Every structure is written in C-alpha cells, then in structure tokens.
Amino acid sequence: MFFFKKKEIPLEEIFPQGFVDIHSHLLPGIDDGAKDIKDSVSLIKTMYSYGIKNFVTTPHVLGDVYPNSSVTIKNKLAEVKEALNNEGFKNISIRAAAEYMMDERFIERLKADDILVLKDNYILVEMSYFNAPYNLYDILFEIQLKGYKPVLAHPERYSFYHNDFHNFYKLKKAGCVFQLNLLSLTEQYGKGVQKTAQKLLSEGMYEFVGTDTHHHNHLKLLQKIGTVKTKKQIEKLLENNIIFK
C-alpha cells in the first residue's frame, strides 16, 4: 500500500496579490488577541511573511467583556500604524472594523449608527457559541433595514447548527453572507467544525475568508492550509476578499 503525502506549498503562494484579511484580532490589549503593541507588530510581520499585506482587523465588541467603542478601536489602530511605520513597513495597509456580538448592546449601536464597517456596507457579526440569540432574525432584519450587509463570522463554529444544516440555508435566505475561518480547515476547533466547514465549502455557501488570528499559535497552525488541495478549494474565496482593498 502506498501513502502519498499532501503536496505542500508556501503560504505566499496561497494568498493572491491584493488579498485582504477581514477577520483578525491584531490591535493591542483590547480583546483576547494581541497583548501589546510589540505583539501586534510581531503578528503582522509574520502574516506579512505569509504574503498577507492588507488587513481590516476586527476586535471584539461584546457587552461588558469587550466594550470597545469606535473611538477606542480607532486610537489603537493609530498606535499600530505608527509602530509599523517606525519599523519601516510602508506597504502594509491596515484598517479597523469590529467583530460585533449580536446582543442588546449591538442593537443600541446600530440605532445610533455607531458601526465600523469592513468596507462599504459590510459589517462583521457573530453569535455566542452556546446558542443563537432568541431574536436572531429580527436583528438580521434590523441590520439590513439600516442599509448594512451582515457578514457572519465563522458559521461553521456554531455547533448547535451542526446537526440541523437547514439553519445555514435559512441564514443565507435571511441575507447573511458567510465568512470561513481558514483555521477551521485544520484541527484548531475540532473535527465537528472541520467537517462542517468542508460541507459548507462543498455547497458553495461561503463568500469570504478570514484568518481570525489571535496569537502566534494560530499563525503556526495556519501553515497547514498550504496544500495544493486546499488552495484549489478556497482560491475563489481568497479572490473575493480583494474587494475589501
């Protein structure tokens, strides 16, 4: 019996020119991502070495846990930009939006038009990993009523939908576009997530991708997507991300 090793390729051959990572946690000290400015720069440098030069970083905005305001996020972004400039990284493009938990606080922000977009009218939203909000479809309706397009972060990670795939179709019908976590194609979040990501991929239900980078362990594991097979699977999605440039 013969066993063939997956053909590996470097990540800089995976990410196309102009690719924008639209989901990451690279701003220092405001959520569970980069701990300080040194960590921020180090993470971005590593991602740069992978061929990622454009970022819309998305710190959590989550109730009292991460109550980040738009002002706080913009101030932290300015710190990172200055640090990158001092390090001589002139050709890195970094902007900031947010990953909004769809909770009551988010509805208040929505009503106040206090929303940071990925670009144009796209906003990145998420749910709890334990259950969907009881008023999920009302929230999605309100988002679109305000003129925004909800980009649902990592739908494959909501395990309460794994055994009832119909919910994913329902979300799409309700106006969500789906963003795949690239790490979901690895063992990072478990076999159930990996399997669901593959099924959603095979059914063409994703529009965009993101790394959802929080720390260097994520970036080390990200190298596992560097295969010919994975590149073929996600090539179109990677190209879709260029619209955020």
Domain ranges within the chain, ordered by starting residue: 17-244
CATH superfamily of 17-244: Metal-dependent hydrolases (3.20.20.140)
Q: To 5 degrees, how large is the angle CA 56–CA 46–CA 31?
A: 50
57: enclosing H helix or E strand: strand 54-57
Question: Exposed (0-12), middle (13-18) or buried (19+): which is 104, by Cβ within 10 Å?
Answer: exposed
What pLDDT does 7 receive?
Answer: 79
Region of 205 please: left (phi>0), alpha (psi -120 to 50) or beta: alpha
Q: Please give the model's pTM, rounded to 2 decimal places.
A: 0.96
Estimate the crossing angle of helix 70-86 against helix 37-49, to 10 degrees: 60
Q: What is the pLDDT along the chain (245 residues), one digit of tens a residue?
A: 444 456 799 999 999 999 999 999 999 999 999 999 999 999 999 999 999 999 999 999 999 999 999 999 999 999 999 999 999 998 999 999 999 999 999 999 999 999 999 999 999 999 999 999 999 999 999 999 999 999 999 999 999 999 999 999 999 999 999 999 999 999 999 999 999 999 999 999 999 999 999 999 999 999 999 999 999 999 999 999 999 99
Question: Exposed (0-12), middle (13-18) or buried (19+): which is 103, by Cβ within 10 Å?
Answer: middle
What pLDDT does 4 receive?
Answer: 45
What pLDDT does 3 receive?
Answer: 44
What pLDDT does 5 receive?
Answer: 52
Residues 6 or more apart whose CB falls under 8 angstroms from that of 203 comprise none
Q: How many helices (H) and strands (E) does the chain have?
A: 8, 9
What pLDDT does 6 receive?
Answer: 65
